[in-house]
Structure 1
């Protein structure tokens, strides 16, 4: 019997908006120092590779934290971890910008990384739970991915304007106060969904024909895909401003240009989330996104080799648009095909693996190659090849749409075996 999906209620849409606001805080604090890389290097007398270590420490802390939060989020509640994450990131941000030394700089990013883990896992899972049983799951996951674009835009452009006008110290104090106010408001009005909320919406969660384990084929597929997505995101946001300033752009202009990766993603995630809901299948859009990401890297490589700024920016735009097609649809596939009680744990696995490997491998290789070969292009070639493997070849092998999973589960039940 086919499950009837219903339209979301106003309350569900309102909670999604709150989840998007909460979710945008994580990328803001993650990337807001990107336009001040030169200032940080000069202040602490560090190299490009050492900046890469600061970024990597954050990614590893976030990755490990995602495993921890993923195992506990369904027990303690998504709202609790979302609020905890915002509070931790406020502390980590304060430590980072008022750090007296390079080791404290690294420690501050470790603190923020764990806070990011709380927000990314809990806010995404909360949005999925609110939209369980509705016909807009793709839009919900697309909205949460748009939150990443919104936060990144504010971090790389609006933040640079703020500190340019107020100064680095005053600008950062203003940010801390503003986010603290948002935290208080969210504590008062954001909620975990209860039984009555689901009954009022008319939605029912049917877990028949779904994977019963958090680690399944689609979890593996999305681990691989998001590794490539976060690799591209890290390059655009960590190294994008430096690539462009090396070619003569101002710091604020480079920050704005780098945001096209995430700004394009805001539209891509919402558009393709809705399209996949209508189509009833996610795989074609996910593969389209992977191919487009590779094309974007090729543009970045060409732009660096020719020294043409607009070609590099076009590469950011193409890679970003397509990356934000892949990211939400993978989570939508996961919610389509995994029992609801395992969504938080599956998200933790996906985001943990992708943060550790995606942010580390991609952005670190670009930084190291930049130091030793004085070139971004060589590192980008490596990233393009790796993205082809992760987001085209392997995704095609592992992704299963909901009808395929249901058929697989039915077949295995008849034969008395368990589906992977």
Structure 2
């Protein structure tokens, strides 16, 4: 049964309800994933641990994804989407329960790892179903909207969490309890709004894949090129983000000013991701836009090194526009990379796996490069990786 037949079997209203449900799940995922940002001091004080121990908490989700991501992709391809999403949020809820009642920090970290595994399963199932439910000429904008809805809570929890703790006198555990309620609500909404028969490939029933069909994702050249390119993007957008504010301070900005200026890249990027997702669908191309995004990212990094502090907004604007298209369109490319719709969750899970492993390894390497060679050489090397990312996409010919 094709995706078009499924769209015929469900009314437009039902499809819109399912899409709205998946967007809501993305928002809930964002609150759960980014909840620690304003809570670090409160957590370290509560458990009496130092920043080194806190690093284990930050990496717990990464390790859960590294260990389980590919298995999740095959599970999602086999199971109905409703079961996969509900199981994911149920596991996240169990992990949150461990954190709420953990007497010792190691149990708190274990709870976070379980929560991260559950969130990974839920969002992978949601993203795969979303990509296969929307028309092919709308996949760019819908994947961008989904990521935006997952990123927006980062800003809300950063600002709102601090306000609730400082002005309302709430503890971080009370805020966590509120997020646990969100997980419960996501489970209820999915139970009501997602049909039990529909799977992440966007169809109601699917034959069991052969061994050759199972392995084809791992033999897809475009898949590996996109994955490698996304490691380079994550190295700049995630790993270097921990250092860029300090570098701005070295260049002469005040600490508060540097943090505020860098936050503009996220705000500009949110609008840019939406705009370039729309442009991608209108022009019928992802590859050219993403290639331009990687090369613009390299230019932005070169500007960061060579322009004076008074012109730092040039970096902010350049990096906050075209390069921010990479995340949304890399996700959207799963529908082009996959040979059949049922491969989409496996393509997504492999991207998560490779990206997490690469980011963890290269983040460590980046720290040593900055320590031994200094910021400027490290930033030039990062600019080089962005160029390599664009070259990878040039050869990913399967993607239009």
> Shared fold by TM > 0.5?
yes
| 1:386 alignment counterpart | 385
The residue aligned with 2:206 is none
What does 1:403-418 correspond to in 2, within 5 Å?
none
Distance (whole Å) between structure 2 residues aligned to residue 259 and residue 243 of structure 1: 14
Please state if 1:249 is matched with 2:256.
yes
State the 1:150 CA deviation.
Answer: 2.0
Contact 1:366 1:379 in 2 (8 A): yes
**Structure 1 Cα separation of the partners of residues 184 and 176 of structure 2:** 12
**What is the CA–CA distance in structure 1 between the aligned matches of 2:369 and 2:229, rounded to whole Å?**
24
Which residue of structure 1 aligns with residue 393 of structure 2?
395
Q: Is the CA contact 1:86–1:183 (under 8 Å) kept in the aligned structure 2? A: yes
CA distance in 2, matches of 1:136, 1:145: 15
Q: Partners of 1:86 and 1:317 in 2: how far apart?
A: 36
- Asked if structure 1 preserves the Cα contact closer than 8 Å seen for 2:32 and 2:179, the reply is no
How far off is 1:324 after superposition? Answer: 3.5
How far, CA to CA, are the matches of 1:236 and 1:146 in structure 2?
21
Q: 1:178 to 1:349 in 2, by over 3 A?
A: closer
In structure 1, the partner of 2:342 is 341
How far off its partner does 1:351 sit? Answer: 1.5
2:39 is aligned to 36
Aligned position for 2:354: 353
Distance 2:270 2:234 in 1: 15
Alpha-carbon distance, 1:136 to partner: 1.2
**Which moved further from structure 2: 138-147 or 174-183?**
174-183
Give the CA deviation at 1:126. Answer: 0.8
Is contact 1:90–1:180 with CA below 8 Å preserved after alignment?
yes
Q: Is the 8 A contact 1:226 1:354 kept in 2?
A: yes
The match for 1:418 is none
Report the count of equivalent residues. Answer: 377
The 5-angstrom pairing of residues 235-314 of structure 1 reads 235=239, 247-249=254-256, 254=259, 260-298=264-302, 311=312
Q: Per the alignment, do residues 327 and 138 of structure 1 end up closer, same or farther by CA in structure 2, a change over 3 Å counting?
A: same
Cα deviations by residue, 1:369-400 (Å, 9 ceiling, x for unpaired)? 78x679877765554443333x2232223343
Separation in 2, partners of 1:214, 1:146: 27
| Alignment-derived partner of residue 225 in structure 2 | 221
Name the counterpart of 1:69: 72
Report the counterpart of residue 162 of structure 2 in structure 1: 160
Cα distance between partner residues in 1 of 2:58 and 2:393? 27
SS in structure 2 of the partner of residue 117 of structure 1: helix
Alpha-carbon distance change, 399 to 269 in structure 1, aligned in 2, over 3 angstroms? farther
For 1:243 and 1:47, how far apart are their aligned partners in 2? 24
Query: Structure 2 CA distance, aligned partners of 1:114 and 1:70?
Result: 13
Query: Structure 1: how far apart are the matches of 2:44 and 2:369?
Result: 17
1:147 to 146, 149, 158: 149
1:15 and 1:249 map into 2 onto residues whose CA distance is: 42
1:136 aligns with 2:138: yes
Structure 1: unaligned runs, 5 residues or longer: 200-210, 403-420
Change (3 A) 1:392 1:41: farther
- Aligned pair in 2 of structure 1 residues 351, 50: CA closer, same or farther (>3 Å)? same
Asked whether the 8 Å contact 1:264–1:320 carries over to 2, the reply is: yes
Report the equivalent of 2:90.
87
- Shift, 1:291, TM fit: 1.9
Question: 1:282: Cα distance to partner?
Answer: 1.5
Which 5+ residue runs of structure 2 have no aligned equivalent? 204-213
> Distance between the aligned counterparts of 1:161 and 1:310, measured in 2?
32
1:14 equivalent in alignment to 2:17 = yes
Distance 1:107 1:266, change over 3 A: same
CA distance in 2, matches of 1:101, 1:375: 38
Q: Match of 2:39, SS?
A: helix
Shift of 1:130: 1.0
